[in-house]
Amino acid sequence: MKRSFLSTLLFLCTVALLHAAKVDVQHVHPLHWWVGMKQPELQILIHGKNVGQCTPTLSATDVQLIRTETTANPNYLLLYVDTRNARPQTFDIVLRGKGLNGRIPYTLKPRTPRTVDSFTSADVMYLLMPDRFANGNLHNDNIPHLLEPKANRTNPDGRHGGDLAGIARHLDYLADLGITALWPTPVQVNNQKSHTYHGYAITDYYQIDPRFGSNEEFYALVDNCHCHGIKMVMDLVFNHCGSNNFLYADRPADNWFNFDSRYVQTNYKIGSVSDPHAAKADKALAQDGWFVEPMPDFNQKNPAVMDYLIQASIWWIEQAGIDGIRQDTYPYTDLEAMAAWNERIELEYPGFNIVGETWINHNVGVSFWQKDSRLAAPRNSRLRSVMDFPLMYLLNSVVDEETDDWDHGFARLYDYLTQDRVYADPMNLLTFLDNHDTNRFQSTPEAAQDIDRYRQALTLLLTLRGIPQLYYGDEIGMAANKRQGDGALRQDFPGGFPDDEQNAFSPEGRTARQTAYFDFTRRLLHWRKGNKAISEGTLIQFAPKDGIYAYSRQVPGRSCFVVLNGTRHPKRIGLSRFIESLPSPIAHEVLTNQDIAIGDSLSLAPRGIAIFDFK
């Protein structure tokens, strides 16, 4: 009787399973993972119709299911597993529920041994927008299933067709220029209705946008960059995502996004975060408000949200071998949650550098966001590198002024650098003349005729402290003003697209003016490469006097002395007051490429420059 009952029960269970619907799984993130992580706990997010009604088990005996979390939306299941004793393998996540069943194969891979070689002050970073740099594959210009399916170069706010293949095609150009780190704006899927070219509304954190290429093409691009001596810096966005990201469109719960997933715009008053007098309401709205409506703002106080985002960044480091991260809109994020992210990256990849976009117009505000800032204590962002926006504004203006001894021209730059003690690590500041959100350094074609302006600003950028960043086209004098719209700031690089009349990638295709820009940039970049006096040296600056600004960079065995004429008049300069920065009577003058004897004086043309290299 007992045996008959068991047989009947087994038969009924078998029939039930045969009639159970297969679970419709739409997303499993991360796509796979690795054994041997310092933090062995892994969140596996499963998204599919009514998957939250299932009970999961694992087929692996050495992977422990710690806990399962469901959400208000039954279409989610969060598995937390312990991989500390796991071996590389593919196991099944078995899902069973009322009327549902399914098996999801999940792979744990062995980690690839690697030495972190992240970006430092020894590098020069090149920022480009993949859509506007070069089109190397015409077949991915139009992707019918996406919401913005077609490339249209006549629309300054539309997609133009640039892609990863276009970048790969011009790595020789970047290496010849002297670039050692590449920062493309985000390359993950942005399946929004418009303005998708810039990449800052990510709709899938684990897939490359097909209009740029594939994941495999990105991995190959990283490898190709490394073969050219170029590091890859990935642009990530943790403050917000695109409104068509499944995490928002079919969100796990309203508490995954700020203001319970309702659009409330930020006040953009990010200074309130470091303001000792700030109203709580201002501070909350600054960080919790949405940047714009199509970009829902993540609730980073929700641990599940941060688990998801942290793992996404680790996935790209481990899978693609990227060398650094640039994190967008950093002061709009939650400081403590992002500090935990920085700590996790440092745990897994010691020395891995991350720079945060800290668009604040004064050094006190910027310094608050850098790791170990005394001004932020006892809070600590753990963020190694921040962006020196105040220096950008100075470099764009001081070269247009007549320098005096007090408060015009290079005297203002001198005063700014006297305040470097507010920074915990001035050498780890990202410095730049412009980027994709600002006026180009040469804001009009007329201004671009004045190459002396660029020469002085670039000399300062490449020889002062920090990690210099160029914006694509700076090296050929591309000009644009933000009043023309963001699309104008992000115009196509000439020669990057098949029907271009001019090709500025080749020496023969450049105009005389573009050649002058390029040659000056290339000379300085190649001289800077491997120059430890510039990348590691002490900065000693002399107070401007009679329109002249001078400083040196020094390490044992090598020093460089830079002197600039901040006036529109020729100058003859006595050198006796600079003697502490002139260690030898013979120096190599970098711009003329000549060895010269250092005398008692030096003549400089209007807006002239001299760079002396003592070895």
Amino acid identity of residue 396, one-letter, is: N
Residue linked to tokens 């790595």: 171
CA 352 – CA 428 distance, rounded (Å): 12
Q: Cβ neighbours of residue 43 under 8 Å, at least 6 residues apart?
A: 78, 79, 80, 304, 307, 308, 311
Residue linked to tokens 């990283």: 222
CB atoms within 10 A of CB 228: 16
3-state secondary structure 202-265: CCEEEEECCCCCCHHHHHHHHHHHHHCCCEEEEEECCCECCCCCHHHHCCCCHHHEHHHHCCCE
328 a catalytic residue: yes
CA 124 – CA 326 distance, rounded (Å): 14
Residues composing the chain: 615
Please identify which of the residues 288, 348, 357, 613 carries the catalytic annotation. Answer: 357
User: CA-CA distances (angstroms) from residue 574 to 406, 411, 550, 563, 598?
Assistant: 20, 19, 12, 12, 11
Q: Cβ neighbours of residue 382 under 8 Å, at least 6 residues apart?
A: 338, 339, 340, 342, 343, 346, 371
Q: Which residue, among 317, 341, 336, has the nearest Cα to 238 in the 3D structure?
A: 341
Residues 300, 337 contacting (CB under 8 angstroms): yes
**Residues paired with 520 in a beta bridge:** none
CA 480 – CA 488 distance, rounded (Å): 6
Please identify which of the residues 323, 328, 475, 492 carries the catalytic annotation. Answer: 328
CA 570 – CA 605 distance, rounded (Å): 5
Exposure on the CB side of residue 606, measured as CA atoms within 13 A: 8
- Give the E-state strand segments of 445-557 in sequence order: 467-471, 538-545, 548-555
Amino acid identity of residue 283, one-letter, is: K
336 a catalytic residue: no
| Active-site residue set | 328, 357
